[in-house]
Amino acid sequence: MTDIDLWVVNALRAALPGDVKVGVVDPSGASRFVQVRYDGGTELDVLRERGRLTLNVYADRLDTVKALADLVRTALDTAVQNTGVIMKCVKGFGWNRVAESDQALSHLVAGFDLIVRRA
């Protein structure tokens, strides 16, 4: 887990309802969860990098997963404003439904570009 993964997981855990599980792996048995993946990025200059964050949101019904995705986006925006690590969050692509035959839960995925202050 990178520092960005850890920071996003902790920020979402603090902002989302307690019954929503947040992590980098799929929690078994959870009916609502958010999977966080930081895919790395490219160096912009000596102080900043631009990276891609992918969020997978799962819930039992489509309307529930859409509402959870809205909560996740709001929580991410709020958290970014309160850190010195992530300087900016831009929605790279919107929430898209993923059809999975082996998954009983509804699934949405979105990508975000992050401007991150390098250590």
Distance of alpha carbon 54 from alpha carbon 94, whole angstroms: 11
The confidence score (pLDDT) of residue 72 equals 94
- What is the rounded CA–CA span in Å between residue 39 and residue 26? 17
pTM of the model: 0.87
Per-residue pLDDT of the chain (119 residues; tens, 9 = 90+): 578 888 899 999 999 999 999 999 877 778 899 999 988 888 899 988 888 999 999 999 889 999 999 999 998 888 887 777 788 888 777 888 887 655 678 999 999 988 888 76
**pLDDT of 81:** 74
What is the helix (H) or strand (E) element at residue 69, kind and residue range? helix 62-81
Residue 9: which of 29, 33, 31, 43 has the closest Cα?
A: 33
Distances 50 to 32, 45, 55, 76, 112 between C-alpha atoms, Å: 29, 10, 16, 16, 10
C-alpha 37/C-alpha 6 separation (Å) is 10
- Please identify, in words, the CATH class of the domain defined by 3-117: alpha beta
| Domain residue spans of the chain | 3-117
